[in-house]
Amino acid sequence: MTQADFEVLESRIREELSNIDRLGEELMRAGIIHDKAGHEAPELPRNDSLVLRSLGSILHDFYCAAESLFEAIARNIDCSIPSDPEWHRTLLTQMSLRLSTRRPPVLRKETVIILDEFRAFRHVFRNVYGFALDPERLERLLLKFPQAVESLTEDMAAFLDVMQKIAPNQTNDHSGNLS
């Protein structure tokens, strides 16, 4: 990976993180989450399917943005995007791996665990009618949303810090070693 390639990837990552921040701001403006620490559980109108669908869409968008980051890293740095039937889960797990000649782990194991809940929800959201969304599940995820965003943001910042130091030294044959 050249320095120019890395700069493009870094800009894409920062743009997606900005989009994720906008999702959080949207939830805060609507009074669904009350602080970034997520200390207050949301009370959802359980009989309002339009509200539930809207909240489900935001949670869906969050994981789609995160997965977009992971796909860009897998494509541009790992040179390997999973193609197995469980590729969404495999990609998330791949982000916790150290690739000794390419990159450090992108995510901590605890970040993978929390993001996996959003990945699973994204699958449900895409495959059920909006009126069948479970309000309790939405409440649990909304309560975890600030922590998930914070963990993802911290992990991506740490990843970019390391990559900024090593990207200029890497070549397309990935002969550098991340000791």
Question: How far apart are alpha carbons 170 and 54 in whole angstroms?
Answer: 43
Structural domain of 21? 3-169
Residue 44 or residue 83, greater confidence? 83
Q: Kindly state whether residue 93 falls inside one of the protein's structural domains.
A: yes
Region 62-83: mean pLDDT is 96
What is the average per-residue pLDDT within 111-117? Answer: 98
Q: Cα–chain-centroid distance for residue 65? A: 6
Please give the pLDDT value at position 172.
Answer: 47
32: helix, strand or coil = coil
- What's the gap between Cα 177 and its chain centre? 26
Instruction: Report d(CA 148, CA 2) in Å as an integer.
Output: 31
Q: For 58-80, what is the mean pLDDT?
A: 97
Averaged pLDDT, 73-96: 96
Q: Quick check: is 103 in a domain?
A: yes
CA dihedral 97, 98, 99, 102 (to 10 degrees): 120
- pLDDT on residue 174: 46
The CA-atom distances, in angstroms, between 143 and each of 76, 132, 139 are 33, 20, 6
Average pLDDT, rounded, for the chain: 89
Q: Does residue 179 belong to any structural domain of this protein?
A: no
| Token couple for 158 | 């740490």
Query: Is 10 among the domain residues?
Result: yes
Residue 176 counted as domain residue: no
**The pTM is what?**
0.88
Mean pLDDT of 7-22: 96
* Residue 168 or 104, more confident: 104
Residue 60 vs residues 3, 21, 24, 108, 172: alpha-carbon distances, Å: 32, 14, 13, 22, 34
Count up the domains in the chain and report the number.
1
- Within-domain flag for 174: no
| Residue at 99 is within a domain | yes
**Helix axis angle, 49-73 to 135-166, nearest 10°:** 20
Which value, in Å, is the radius of gyration of the alpha carbons in the chain? 17
Domain harbouring 81, CATH code: 1.20.120
What does the pLDDT look like over 24-52, one tens digit per residue? 999 999 888 876 555 565 677 778 889 99
| Sign of the CA dihedral with 170 first, then 173, 175, and 179 last | positive
Q: Is the dihedral of CA 94, 95, 96, 102 positive or negative?
A: positive
146-175: pLDDT as tens digits: 999 999 999 999 999 999 988 766 654 444
- Tell me which of 28-42, 56-70, 108-122, 136-150 is least confident: 28-42
Let me know if residue 178 belongs to a domain.
no
